Amino acid sequence: MELNQLTAISPVDGRYRSKTAALTDYYSEYALIRYRIRVEVEYFIALCGIPLPPLASVDRSKFELLRDIYRTYDERAAQRVKAIERETNHDVKAVEYYLKEEFGRLGMASFGEFIHFGLTSQDINNTAIPLSHKEAVQAVYIPAFSEVLQRLREQASLFAQTPMLARTHGQPASPTRLGKEIAVYVERLEVQFRQLLAVPFSAKFGGATGNFNAHHAACPEIDWKSFADRFVNDTLGLSRSRTTTQIEHYDNLAAQCDAFKRIGNILTDLCRDLWMYISQDYFKQKIVNTEVGSSAMPHKVNPIDFENAEGNLGIANALWEYLAGKLPISRMQRDLTDSTVLRNLGVPMAHTVIALASLTKGLDKLVINPAALEADLLRNWAVVSEGIQTVLRREGYPKPYEALKALTRTGENIDRQKMEAFIDTLDLLPDVKSKLKRITPFNYTGV
């Protein structure tokens, strides 16, 4: 059976392919080969700039042709690398042999032994993967996240003056404003997003056990540590971990995974709150005539976008947490567990992107229902008792908390008339009573 959107085992590549297709350029096997080729080519060019004596005769005008190897990389090239891999049973060595073929095509076969010079596979993997991950975050994650954040900013502004009954422990509480409650999520997300962006995309580049053994043996006169710093930091735009084993220690990648998880937790909290606001009829959802909400109940318009987002965030967060806990742990100078685990880096990113798309869609469908918000406030005049008893404290009134408790904690409904009648019984100056009567569930929303 041919692999396609209908036959794919994972919904990431099946049902949700339209939402995750952009990630193919960064996290697929196809993409990993391209990034490996890119690192190998740039490394060779960097060696030519030391200068390394055996490379002194390299025609510098061919550098752009070398870069075209990864710039024009296509499925044919990927298939050729995979064909070589079937013989070598080694994925990075297959890239090296492929590049030697390409060097021959460009008349540079005599320099072929300086491809992968002094390197181990992890010098390529631990630069190619963080580079692809960095560019995926920049090209896919940040725009998708920014769309959600912008929608929330707009709604926080739009509903800034809309009073809403708050609920603490699920019970009626001092009123708030709908825009402020959305602004809570804006601030939380902005803070965590800044922390995510502050984490470097770290890379390892130092030979078989991190000590440049082969490099130093071949060319001891060269400062290989400085060379590697320039190559990783300046050429590739990553941050070189300088003291390593055979592999990157992944501590910064773990910090990124934790940051993605924290953002995911905040978005999960948002999804659940919006779901509740919809269930309370504070929000209605735009109706699309062709859509079906329930196979049995024709009237249903379900909050499926927020449910879909919550579910995908849950899967993503489970994987982000696992990656953060697993990747920094490796036996001695290395074991291979990181290799197979790291190939799944795109999976939680895919579920995150699916969730962000669903959230954006859900936010765009929200329609405020002022009547429901107003009705809820009218049913709960007791919530102004906090403000009234606080004013009474200021006025020196005896036991104001207890007086309001006796009025409101009876299980009976408190409306405007009952509250004003209570105020009339208080031994206060007329202007104080007048001020107390002006406190309503609609204006008792703080600052």
Q: Which helix (H) or strand (E) holds 205?
A: none
Number of neighbours of residue 279 by Cβ within 10 angstroms:
10
Task: Catalytic residue, from 61, 169, 295, 299: name it.
Answer: 169
In whole angstroms, give the CA distance from residue 313 to residue 307. 10
Residues 35 and 124 sit within 8 Å (Cβ to Cβ): no
Per-residue pLDDT tens digits for 233-253: 999 999 999 999 999 999 999
Residue with tokens 């004596």: 53
Average pLDDT in the chain = 94
Q: Count of residues for the chain?
A: 447
Question: Is the pTM higher than 0.85?
Answer: yes
Residue with tokens 């060097």: 103
Task: Catalytic residue, from 157, 279, 294, 434: name it.
Answer: 294
Which residue type sits at 55?
L
- In sign, the C-alpha dihedral spanning 23, 26, 27, 30 is positive
pLDDT at 163 over 90: yes
pLDDT at 296 over 60: no
pLDDT at 297 over 80: no
pLDDT at 177 over 90: yes
294 annotated active-site: yes
pLDDT at 83: 98
Per-residue pLDDT tens digits for 68-112: 999 999 999 999 999 999 999 999 999 999 999 999 999 999 999
- Reported as a pLDDT band with limits 50, 70 and 90, residue 421 is very high
Residue 177, both tokens: 């404003």
In whole angstroms, give the CA distance from residue 442 to residue 163. 6
pLDDT at 410: 86
In whole angstroms, give the CA distance from residue 331 to residue 329. 7
Averaged pLDDT, 321-345: 94
169 annotated active-site: yes
Number of neighbours of residue 167 by Cβ within 10 angstroms:
14
All structural domains of the chain: 19-117 (1.10.275.10), 134-208+247-369 (1.20.200.10), 380-437 (1.10.40.30)
E-strand spans in 135-184? 163-168, 171-177
pLDDT at 114 over 90: yes
